[in-house]
Amino acid sequence: MRITEVANYTSMSEKAEKIILREVRERPLIMALPTGSTPEMLYSMLVEEYKRGKVNFSEVVTFNLDEYVGLSPANPNSYHYYMNERFLKHVNVSESYIPDGMAQDLEKECADYENKIKREGGIDLAILGIGGNGHIAFNEPGTSFESRTHVVKLSADTLKENSRFGEMPNRAITMGIGTLMCARKIILLASGKKKARALKMMMGAITEEVPASVLQKHSDCKIIADGEALRFF
Ligand code: PGA
């Protein structure tokens, strides 16, 4: 795992943008994409670049990392809504997949999502944020490192963190840790001192109690973080 320290949130976003643009220009790309506050500027930079005619996403397929259970795509708190508003509706990605949190049969939806990832050829590049408790996607502490896409009950920590967006459902569909670890390349983004504890935990013992710690075992994982997020290093 390599760590790239940058000055601040803007330079973190610029660095991630540069890597994504390089990958998109080089080859057809299957990406796993996060939601949340961390990638907001990154998405607006990618959209700007597209509008300026500098990048073409027509050979890019995207898979969302996760989605809440019970929120329709029209709900502004859903990750469908987030992705459409911030990225997908502005660019020309060839296909975008997001788990259906409204599915009648959630187990089947999870299995289907895994199959779609397989059918597309697997994830080339996964962009991740990190939760204050060390979660990646919505894989909470205690999740098996072998897990594939599954339904998760969100922890009290996560519900509290996400309450800044209003009252959120307490269940979600998330790619599993095993799913993420199959990505050929992983980039984890972190900015601000509220991420410092999680980054420190992540670099400590590799344990299912700290989901992000598994990334130490990945052969091509890069952390791009600012000085505040890396203050314990
Ligand atoms: P954030 O969330 O980007 O909104 O801080 C990250 C996460 O919980 O994975």
- CATH assignment of the domain containing 145: 3.40.50.1360
pLDDT of residue 29: 98
Beta carbon of 72 within 6 Å of any ligand 1 atom:
no
Kindly state whether residue 199 falls inside one of the protein's structural domains.
Answer: yes
Residue 58: helix, strand or coil by DSSP? Answer: coil
The per-residue pLDDT for 163 is 87
Both structure tokens of 226: 């600012």
Q: Give the atom of ligand 1 at the shortest distance from the alpha carbon of 130.
A: 9
**37 within ligand 1 shell (Cβ under 6 A):** yes
> What pLDDT is stored for residue 160 in this prediction?
92
- What pLDDT was estimated at residue 14? 98
At 53 the pLDDT is 98
Task: Identify whether 68 is part of a domain.
Answer: yes
3-class DSSP state of 179 = helix
pLDDT number for residue 50: 98
In contact, 40 and 85? CB cutoff 8 Å: no
pLDDT for 21 equals: 98
Q: Is residue 152 part of a domain?
A: yes
Q: Residue 150 catalytic?
A: no
Q: How far is the CA of 21 from the centre of ligand 1 (A)?
A: 22
Residues 153-197: tens digit of each pLDDT: 999 999 998 888 888 899 999 999 999 999 999 999 999 999 999
Q: To 5 degrees, how large is the angle CA 99–CA 103–CA 105?
A: 115
Give pLDDT, residue 47.
98
Q: Which residues, given as ranges, of the chain have pLDDT below 50? A: none
The Cα 52–Cα 21 span in angstroms is: 13
Which listed residue (17, 64, 124, 133) is catalytic?
133
- Domain for residue 233, yes or no? no
Q: Give the pLDDT of residue 167.
A: 81
Evaluate whether residue 106 is within a structural domain.
yes
Other CB atoms closer than 10 Å to residue 92's CB: what's the count? 12
Range of 59's domain?
2-226
**Ligand 1 pocket, residue 130 CB under 6 Å:** yes
Distance 17 CA to ligand 1 centre (A): 18
Q: Quick check: is 211 in a domain?
A: yes
Structural domain count, the chain: 1
Distance 41 CA to ligand 1 centre (A): 13
Please give the pLDDT value at position 200: 98
Any domain includes 231: no
- Look up 115 and say whether it is catalytic: no
**C-alpha–C-alpha distance, residues 108 and 56, integer Å:** 33
Does residue 96 belong to any structural domain of this protein?
A: yes
Choose, from 124, 140, 161, 226, the residue flagged as catalytic. Answer: 140
